[in-house]
Chain A
Amino acid sequence: MGAAHSASEEVRELEGKTGFSSDQIEQLHRRFKQLSGDQPTIRKENFNNVPDLELNPIRSKIVRAFFDNRNLRKGSSGLADEINFEDFLTIMSYFRPIDTTMDEEQVQLCRKEKLRFLFHMYDSDSGGRITLEEYRNVVEELLSGNPHIEKESARSIADGAMMEAASVCVGQMEPDQVYEGITFDDFLKSRKNPNVRAQLTSKEADGGGSVLRSGSHLRGHHDLAGHRHRDQDARPLP
């Protein structure tokens, strides 16, 4: 793994798997080594070294996503203890923009993958459903940045969102029926509405920001939102 950039074949293999260019792979590898401290694998603790991540209210969720077996395509549940560079790239590849050259079907597939990643952020117990508990948990974390917000309001936001999701996904329910949580299909279903889908496209592909940068070689890999990463500016870790 550590020799990924020296063994060009390996790089090519990774290119094929993840869709990154060799340049990007090299840059990411540099970053990977920074994070891991020149070890072949990254453990959870390594993420503590990223200072800016500390401010992120959903930090634990993000870190967790890196070790989630579902995202690593290694199983249907559970967490990996450590990830190697290839896994790292796999996670990163979720954040690549949708290729413009792809046909409609591939685009849909790609989009679905991204959504699945997002879904896994919510579904922390790998139960295949976003339960109310999980949803509340996420909202609470999202709002944790502000001490003025009470837990109660975060919960009721989650409750409201859940109710909304239920009404969108299930429609009329029998009075005795209980909505158990948002499944991935429901998650997708809420986007059947063309309006919503249009938004989602924008969200996936743009994130609202204009990234007017100099130098076309900077157009490295992209995150989920498609922001260009300025890889060569990788900040040294303290």
Chain B
Amino acid sequence: MGIRGFVPFCPWNWCLLLATLQCCGASSELNRSTDSSARRELNVRYAAASSQPAETISVFTLDYDYVQIPYEVTLWILLASLAKIGFHLNRRLPGLMPESCLLILVGALVGAVIFGTDHKSPPVMDSSIYFLYLLPPIVLESGYFMPTRPFFENLGSILWWAGLGALLNAFGIGLSLYLICQVPAFGLGDINLLQNLLFGSLISAVDPVAVLAVFEEARVNEQLYMMIFGEALLNDGISVVLYNILIAFTKMHKFEDIEPVDILAGCARFVIVGCGGAFFGVIFGFISAFITRFTQNISAIEPLIVFMFSYLSYLVAETLYLSGILAITACAVTMKKYVEENVSQTSYTTIKYFMKMLSSVSETLIFIFMGVSTIGKNHEWNWAFICFTLVFCQIWRAISVFVLFYVSNQFRTFPFSIKDQCVIFYSGVRGAGSFSLAFLLPLSLFPRKKLFVTATLVVIYFTVFIQGITVGPLVRYLDVRKTNKKESINEELHTRLMDHLKAGVEDVCGQWSHYQVRDKFKKFDHKYLRKILIRKNLPKSSLVSLYKKLEMKQAVEMVESGVLSSTAFSTPRRAQRTQETKRLSPEDVASMRDILTHNMYQVRQRTLSYNKYNLQPQTSEKQAKEILIRRRNTFRESVKKGHSLPWGKPAGTKNIRYLSFPYSKPLPAGRDMKVAEFTDHDGSDSELPPITFNTHSPTGTIQERRWTPEVIPMKRLHGAGTPLHFGYRRNAGREEHLGRGGRAILRPKPLFHAVDEEFESEEESEEETPAFGSLLSSELRPGGDCNVSHSPLLQRK
């Protein structure tokens, strides 16, 4: 805050700063903890200095007016970011309430400070700023992160629900409020029908992003999630279009009466605005995808292309009076798929983060504005209007949900249950969109604008705080059908098989469904679109190999400096190992699922991770992990080949098994020692599920031989090294698992070290000498016997 500069300052300059001081004092209120005392001090000096003349050239001046707007905006965003950090540092809070609650609270706080200091907040929000700068990033972000496949699978229902639902809500609320306004006792006679309809349209714009976070946590079923997501995506667009048309009507109404033709024209316009916008979006999406095809040498420009073209689509659509929102959404959806393949990995990451950042900045600003305008004198409280607004919002949402879903359920094979509908009804949380639209109402046309703003704020506060906080418990209480997100590999395989089976049977009976539509599009896509839009020589694989070489170098360096003791996942993993010896680790399951998801023909992608405020660590972090793991793998390879180890032991197949002994010495003798010894021998049995397909059969006779081909080679699952390449870039989790052996070398830890190496040696030796297996089994018999008695001990380790 600028205040610190004043302290060493000469008194005669104070008068020059008269004007600026006031601003500073106000803005410094943002810095709540320090400023109150500082300001008092200032006021004292200010009083003393005011008598001085102001003619001299100042050595130090302060021009706060010049920087006021960006200065305060920066502070707001910073404050909101700090609040977010605090919010997420707290463990319980994020589970209790949505993040928008926090933003609103911060906004209200800022508003209170501004109000308390009589400071006039900078005019950040006006119609053109909102529509040209604040809205596009928000829409772009939600369009870009839309899970494409489930969206198009549920397209019919989404359009039906989001489109018609918004209209029904808007007109329902508008008309019923109009009826209320006719009651003379409420003193609302001057609000005419159009104004009511307009209010209805803006208040029906739901923003259920907060609900989505809850859904994701509760893992509700996919359809339900997509309904809400689709609503969030399309609702804004529809409300804004409706809002603009109604504003146009209102303006017209000033001069002449509206004729039925105009209403028809308005309806036609509604359609044209929507479709035209989407059309332009698709065109621009293709163009930008095409351009990114040629950017391989200047990849720094790639994010720029993406953002500029999306923005251009918005602007072009707006110039033509089409829906810019739909245009930018369509643009994002179209180009996403191709751009992702064209651009370099870093650009891709940049695009994603930048998008999140921009949209969160926009939203923060809107919420802070909301807070600022909550506390102030610009309110008009009318009990009747506000209460009825609240009631009608709920009633009409209930009506539209139950009616529309009743209708669409007639056509759906799997209908939405009453529970689902209840949750959809309850997730009608209003947000920044409604407020902005209300705030931007032209005062000249809407004399009761203050009332509208107040009513909107009340609805937003009610829905965000009460519904937003309680929707989580409600979902849990109703026990809504869960998604099949994180379950077992078996389930996943069955699902996949089922998917293909379904598609196949549909083919056999020659029926036509969205499976076929998608199939047709895919063929077209492969035949033409991809050839045109995507780079021919995707550098990914060669990049990876180059990368590996570099990593190899670095890995050696890192080992030498001892940096590689990453705690990130070594400790949790070990804990998991001991707890979950019976199951595959979740990482494995996840990576296997990834492979299944991304590498099969005609399957659904189940990536439904969406958070308005943050990116899931999924891709980027996985990549980082992969790099680390690659490092380890490559390093281990070098170790295997007999390169020198840091501790200078030759890494022979046999010798490596005894490497653990020097390290297990510190262990107390006796039982522990025995355990260590035992692990050394029979590691595979104790480390892996005891029920495993055991290589060492006790009898070791016919049965064993019979099952040999069926025996699962454990090392392949757990100890195997590089030959396992899962797909091209989705192998992080998997390799992490595989990399454990490498880590064991690097971070010697007696038990696990021995165990891991055991696998490796087994793998190698088994391939060389088939007889070794039986040798091993006979040799290890006693170990196998103590397996049962020792395994609990081991698991505690």
The answer to whether B519 touches A52 (Cβ under 8 A) is: yes
- Does B507 belong to the interface (CB within 8 Å)? yes
Q: Known contacts A56-B504, A62-B501; decide if A198 and B481 are in contact (CB<8 Å).
A: yes
- Does B671 belong to the interface (CB within 8 Å)? no
Of B160, B414, B513, B515, which contacts A202 at CB under 8 A? B414
- Does B788 belong to the interface (CB within 8 Å)? yes
- Does B527 belong to the interface (CB within 8 Å)? no
Q: Which residues of B contact A139 (CB under 8 A)?
A: 493
Q: Known contacts A55-B601, A142-B596, A164-B489; decide if A211 and B221 are in contact (CB<8 Å).
A: no
Q: Which residues of B contact A205 (CB under 8 A)?
A: 413-414
The answer to whether A198 touches B724 (Cβ under 8 A) is: no
- Does B699 belong to the interface (CB within 8 Å)? yes
The answer to whether A175 touches B784 (Cβ under 8 A) is: yes
- Does A157 belong to the interface (CB within 8 Å)? yes
- Size of B's binding interface in residues, CB under 8 A: 94
Q: Which residues of B contact A57 (CB under 8 A)?
A: 500, 600-601
Q: Which residues of A contact B497 (CB under 8 A)?
A: 58, 118, 121-122, 138, 142
- Does B509 belong to the interface (CB within 8 Å)? yes
The answer to whether A209 touches B511 (Cβ under 8 A) is: no
The answer to whether A148 touches B728 (Cβ under 8 A) is: yes
Cα distance A28–B582 in the bound complex, in angstroms: 47
Which 7 A-B pairs give the minimum distances between C-beta atoms?
A: A206-B414, A212-B156, A173-B691, A229-B511, A145-B601, A199-B484, A62-B504
Q: Which residues of A contact B499 (CB under 8 A)?
A: 207
Cα distance A200–B488 in the bound complex, in angstroms: 12
- Does B674 belong to the interface (CB within 8 Å)? no
Cα distance A31–B511 in the bound complex, in angstroms: 9
The answer to whether A132 touches B710 (Cβ under 8 A) is: yes
Looking at the complex, which of A5-13, A105-113, A230-238 is the stretch in contact with chain B? A230-238
- Does A43 belong to the interface (CB within 8 Å)? no
What are 29 A-B contacts with C-beta separation under 8 Å?
A31-B509, A55-B601, A55-B602, A56-B504, A58-B497, A59-B504, A61-B501, A62-B504, A92-B505, A95-B505, A121-B497, A145-B601, A146-B601, A160-B489, A164-B490, A175-B784, A176-B694, A179-B693, A190-B488, A195-B487, A202-B414, A203-B484, A207-B413, A207-B502, A208-B150, A227-B511, A228-B513, A229-B509, A234-B511
Interface centre among B487, B494, B512, B699 (most CB of A within 10 A): B494
Interface centre among A162, A177, A209 (most CB of B within 10 A): A209
Q: Which residues of B contact A212 (CB under 8 A)?
A: 156-157, 160, 408, 411-412
Q: Known contacts A148-B727, A207-B502, A210-B154; decide if A172 and B509 are in contact (CB<8 Å).
A: no
Q: Known contacts A118-B494, A230-B511, A234-B510; decide if A223 and B596 are in contact (CB<8 Å).
A: no
Q: Which residues of A contact B408 (CB under 8 A)?
A: 210, 212
Interface centre among B511, B601, B713 (most CB of A within 10 A): B511
Q: Which residues of B contact A213 (CB under 8 A)?
A: 156, 411
Cα distance A28–B692 in the bound complex, in angstroms: 47
- Size of A's binding interface in residues, CB under 8 A: 96
The answer to whether B504 touches A53 (Cβ under 8 A) is: yes
The answer to whether A163 touches B692 (Cβ under 8 A) is: yes
Q: Which residues of B contact A161 (CB under 8 A)?
A: 488-490, 493
The answer to whether A211 touches B411 (Cβ under 8 A) is: yes
CB closest residue in chain B, given A167: B582
The answer to whether B488 touches A210 (Cβ under 8 A) is: no
- Does A1 belong to the interface (CB within 8 Å)? no
Contact mask for chain B residues 601-612; partner A; CB cutoff 8 A; 1 contact, 0 none: 110100000000
CB closest residue in chain B, given A216: B410
Contact mask for chain B residues 443-485; partner A; CB cutoff 8 A; 1 contact, 0 none: 0000000000000000000000000000000000000011110
Contact mask for chain B residues 720-749; partner A; CB cutoff 8 A; 1 contact, 0 none: 100111111000000000000000000000
The answer to whether A163 touches B689 (Cβ under 8 A) is: yes
- Does B652 belong to the interface (CB within 8 Å)? no
The answer to whether A143 touches B595 (Cβ under 8 A) is: yes
CB closest residue in chain B, given A131: B710
Interface centre among A66, A160, A224, A229 (most CB of B within 10 A): A160
The answer to whether B788 touches A209 (Cβ under 8 A) is: no
The answer to whether B414 touches A226 (Cβ under 8 A) is: yes
